[in-house]
Every structure is written in C-alpha cells, then in structure tokens.
Structure 1
Amino acid sequence: MPDPRPLSRRLLVGSALAGAAVGVPAWLAAGPSARATATRPARPTVATLDRAALTAALDAHRAERGGTMGLAVHDLRTGGRFTWREYENETLSTVKVLILMACLKKVQDTGEPFTQARHSQARRMIQASDNAATDALLAWVETSNVQRVAQQLGLTSTTVRGGGPAGGDTWWGYSTSTPSDLVKAVDAMVTGTPVIHGGHRAYIRHLMAGVVPDQRWGVADPPLPSSAYTETKNGWGPLPDGYRLNSIGRVLGNGRSHTMAILTRSPEGFRYGKQTINGLSKIVYDALAQPLAPE
C-alpha cells in the first residue's frame, strides 16, 4: 500500500535529480553552494599598476638621461609600495623637514615655546630653502636630537650631520638617506606618528604646501595637473660626482594619493638634472592612474 504522507519538496527535488529528470538545470543539480555561486553577481576586476611596465619605463628614462637615480613610492589608497634602484645619497635640503620635526618634538617634550622668530625661520627654511634659517634652527635643536627623531621614525639608513660650514664634511646638507627612509618621514606627517602630535604634523605639511613656485619640481613637477594638491621639499647642490637633485613629498587628487622620494645625481648640472627628475615624477604619476597593489 502506498505511503499516504505527502512528499516534502526536498525529497521531490532529490528524487527528480536521482532520476535525471528532464528540465532540471545543471546549476540546481549541483547543490545549494553552486546555486549561490551561480546567482551571485561577479565582482568587477580592478586593474592594478603593472610593476614590470613601470620599472621598464623608469629604466628607459635612466638610459636616455644618464646619471644615478632611485625612488620609492607609497600608494596611500592601497598601502602598496614600490622601490626602484634604491641607493644612498646626500640629502641636501630635504633634511630640513627632519630638522623641523625635531624642533617641534623639542617644543612638545620641553614646553619651550616656538617663538615668532623661530616660526619665521621655519617658514623660510621650508618654503624658500633658506640655509641661514636652517643653521639657526639646527643650532637651537642640536644635531643629536635630529638624529634621535630619525631613529624614532624608523629611518635606519639615515645619518644626520651638522655643525660644520656649508660644503664641509659635517655640514647638514651632506646628511645621507635613502628613498625608502625619506618616504617613511613623509608618511609620518601624512598618516600619523607618535613622535610628534597631529597639530605639529599639519604645520609642517602646511609649510610644504606653500613652497615657492621655482622650487616646486620633482614630486611636485609643474606638468602635473594644476588640480593636483602637493606638499614637497627639495634639495639640490653640486658635488664632484654629479649634481644632487632630490625631491620628497605627497601628491593628492585626480584619483591619486601617494607619497614619494626621488634621489638623483645629474652628470650635466642642475637644469639637465631638473628635467631628469621631473621625468621620473611624471612617469610615476601617470602609472598611478591605476592603484599599486600591495606585494
């Protein structure tokens, strides 16, 4: 005698599948997990920066221009980092950012006021790259304290000099660093650090955003769209084995958000080197139309 109880929907489907019933879709026969996959809309694939292509473009620029160069980039949208031909170079005036960080660290640690005179020196040091103002601030904060701040920021490949005349072995301009270390310093001001508090970081970035126009090259290369916001500090000067042109800073806007440091040695002086470093910056800027995926 047949069982009078109605069959459940689940048993009906199972029975139909077992008998390979006509009209049962393959996705249904595959079971619940496959059905969920089949009905879920596919996530769009986001194109990311081609690291090999960027490296090739930078290599081609170096082969064309000559000289020594290296850079580091941190894409703040994704956390991705890219380095190319990392090496150690004299910082020239890029170290002024570290000097100002150490000054503000001293203010917050000791309570000593940052006087109007020192505000004026800081503005001239960052925005016009005034060396006399730098000498005064470094004498006040002391070289050892700048080195201590560098260590607290994790700048393990940075050596801060100071106390000697311009062009001498102990001159602050001949401090040494690498692109990755200098990017860490910029990152600290942009994304935060326990070394100095937010108000002081914003103050430094405000000054870097107001660098005089003829010193806005490299990371803030003027061929970038005018709508791009930049904070920068550059350093430059002659040495026997190549004119140093270095640039650090931040770029924001037009779909970009990154920090970068570029170090170079130009074989043919300042003007040629400026064109070279601007070319590096533009190559990276164009490439970052696509996000840099973390490795």
Structure 2
Amino acid sequence: MPRHSPSAPPTRSATPTPRPTPPPTSAPAPTPTLHTDGIDAALASADGNAAVAAVDLTTGLSLDRGDTGHAFVTASIVKVDILATLLLQHQDNGTSLDSDERALARQMIENSDNDAATSLFDAVGGASGVDAANQRFGLNDTSAGTGGYWGLTTTTARDQLTLLRQVFTSHSHLDRGSREYLDSLMSSVEPDQAWGVSAAADDGGSFALKNGWLPRSATGLWVINSIGEVHRDGHTLLIAALSDDIQSMDGGVGLVQRVATAVGSAFD
C-alpha cells in the first residue's frame, strides 16, 4: 500500500490581533522649587549669627539655612520644650496635669512668665529631665541649661524644627491631647509677644508661636528667637528662626521677621 505524505498543517492568518491603545499618560507634576535667595539675604543682614529651619507640611518641602551648626542659646523658646517634657512624663505615668500645673503652663507660654518656667523646670527634674525627653524627641544637638539656668539651654534651628514636629504633627511621642494643649497655649500668647514667625502668615492667617529674647550680661548683645506654626495660602508651615550676638532687641525682632517673611515667600 502506498504511503501517504503527512498533511501540511493549516496556515494561520497573517493579520495581527489588534492591541488596545494604552490610555494617554499625564505629564508628571513639576517638582516645586524653593527660592531661597530672599532667605539668604535676610540672614546675611544679621549683625550677629542667624539660622532658620522650616518645613511646609502641605508639600513636604523643607529648608535649613544660615549658621546651621551654630549652638544658639534658647532664651524663652525652651519653655515649649519644658512643657513638652512635662506632658510626656505625665503620659508615661498615665496621669494628667493638675490645676496648679495647668496654671503655671498657661503663665509660662502665654505670658512668658519666668517664675512659672522655673517651677515647671524643677518639676520635670531640671536639665536631666529635659535632656532625657529630648533624646526621645530626637533633639540631638540640644543641651538643657544647668544650675537652674533653663534659658541658657543651647540648641540649633534644625533641632527646634524637630521639636515643632513633635508639637504640631502626629509623628510625635506626644499624644493628640498633649499636642492640642500645647497648640492652644501657643495660639494665645499675649499680643505684644506675637511678633516673629507670625510674619510669614498671610492676611488673616492663624499662627501659634513662642518667642525668646535675652540680653547677654557678658556682652550686652541680644538673643532673639522665634518658633512656631504658621498658616499661609492654604499651607501649614513650621518655622524656627534663631539669632544671637545681635546689637538690639528691635534689630533682632526685625531680623527674625524678615527671615520668616522670606521663608513664607520661598514656599509660595
């Protein structure tokens, strides 16, 4: 019987199967640019040392300019740190501030009362208590003043921004109630103490701050500092502006306000 050759396989159509057209992709949003020339100019106008650290919590952009490694004396801005330490200790113990502590805290933050600060500084264990809390807060370049001289605590602008994150963001060792309490006091400082980083707020924009001012007895030169949260054009900014070896209080106040204004413009 004759053999048959195997049948050739059927041929397939050469027409390609149409592929779906991918949807058009939108161009990536441009990365915001910080314009820091104004900040650098404001810092350069200082007749002493000056530095600023800031973050826009809305965009995540941050900056650190000026004498960034300089150890500044805190003066009264350390009062925020003292109260944060007290609140953290109460959290650890599962307790709340009593009525006397609340009265002292209000006087210390809203009125910048030094006697109230001394009482609460002693209550948290003095320098060792504040230093222990600051290790947990992440303030690695801050050292509490010893011998009861809490106003001679030394710090950097970067560390003060870290402290502000503890006070005003949820990425914090402080619970929500503690943060809201600090915010409420810093939002209620006396009107004549509302200068400083508040200059970055837009018209009608809210702010919460604490300022520090101190003439150094050895030189007669001034420490002028301002830290806080500012609302501007729908954005939330944290700003720490520090200065020392300044010729006058008025000059220092003008300096930190120029710096804060320039920071606000840089984030626009």
Query: What is the TM-score of this pair, normalised by structure 2?
Result: 0.85
1:113-139 CA deviation, whole Å, 9 max, x = no partner? 522121111011011111011111112
Correspondence for 1:225: 202
- Return closer, same or farther for 1:128/1:274 CA change in 2, 3 Å cut-off: same
1:259-288 CA deviation, whole Å, 9 max, x = no partner? 111111253200111111100000010111
1:237 to 214, 221, 224: 214
2:236 to 253, 257, 262: 257
1:18-76 CA deviation, whole Å, 9 max, x = no partner? xxxxxxxxxxxxxx79x63xx615326335123xx40x322322334432100111221
2:110–2:189 CA contact under 8 A, matched in 1? yes
Per the TM alignment, residue 112 of structure 1 is displaced from its structure 2 partner at its CA by 4.9
Distance 1:152 1:64 in 2: 35
1:140 to 109, 123, 128: 123
Distance 2:28 2:248 in 1: 48
Distance 2:88 2:46 in 1: 40
Distance 2:73 2:80 in 1: 14
1:139–1:163 CA contact under 8 A, matched in 2? no
Per the TM alignment, residue 193 of structure 1 is displaced from its structure 2 partner at its CA by 4.6
Distance 2:202 2:112 in 1: 24
Per the TM alignment, residue 256 of structure 1 is displaced from its structure 2 partner at its CA by 1.8
Aligned length: 255
- Indicate yes or no: 2:170 matched with 1:192: yes
Distance 2:233 2:183 in 1: 19
1:69 to 39, 50, 55: 50
User: 2:16 corresponds to which letter in structure 1?
Assistant: R
When structure 1 is superposed on structure 2, of 252-261 and 172-181 the one drifting more is 252-261
Distance 1:9 1:206 in 2: 72
Per the TM alignment, residue 255 of structure 1 is displaced from its structure 2 partner at its CA by 2.8
Per the TM alignment, residue 213 of structure 1 is displaced from its structure 2 partner at its CA by 1.5
Listed as ranges, the gaps of 5+ residues in structure 2 are 1-9
2:160 to 182, 192, 209: 182
User: 1:218 corresponds to which letter in structure 2?
Assistant: G
Alignment partner of 1:235: what SS?
A: strand
1:94 to 77, 82, 85: 77
Alignment partner of 1:10: what SS?
A: coil
Dislocated runs of 4+, deviation >4 Å: 4-9
1:189-248 CA deviation, whole Å, 9 max, x = no partner? 222255332111111111111111211122112x73233221111111112273111111
Distance 1:201 1:225 in 2: 24
Bigger helix fraction: 1
- Indicate yes or no: 2:137 matched with 1:153: yes
- Indicate yes or no: 2:250 matched with 1:271: yes
Distance 1:128 1:198 in 2: 24
1:153-207 CA deviation, whole Å, 9 max, x = no partner? 111100012443xxxxxx1000000011111111012222553321111111111
2:201–2:232 CA contact under 8 A, matched in 1? no
Per the TM alignment, residue 6 of structure 1 is displaced from its structure 2 partner at its CA by 8.9
Instruction: Let me know the Cα RMSD of the aligned residues.
Output: 2.5
Query: What is the TM-score of this pair, normalised by structure 1?
Result: 0.78
Distance 2:47 2:254 in 1: 12
- Return closer, same or farther for 1:5/1:216 CA change in 2, 3 Å cut-off: same
Alignment partner of 2:138: what SS?
A: coil
User: 1:67 corresponds to which letter in structure 2?
Assistant: G
Alignment partner of 1:188: what SS?
A: helix
Listed as ranges, the gaps of 5+ residues in structure 1 are 14-31, 165-170, 290-295
Distance 2:245 2:267 in 1: 25
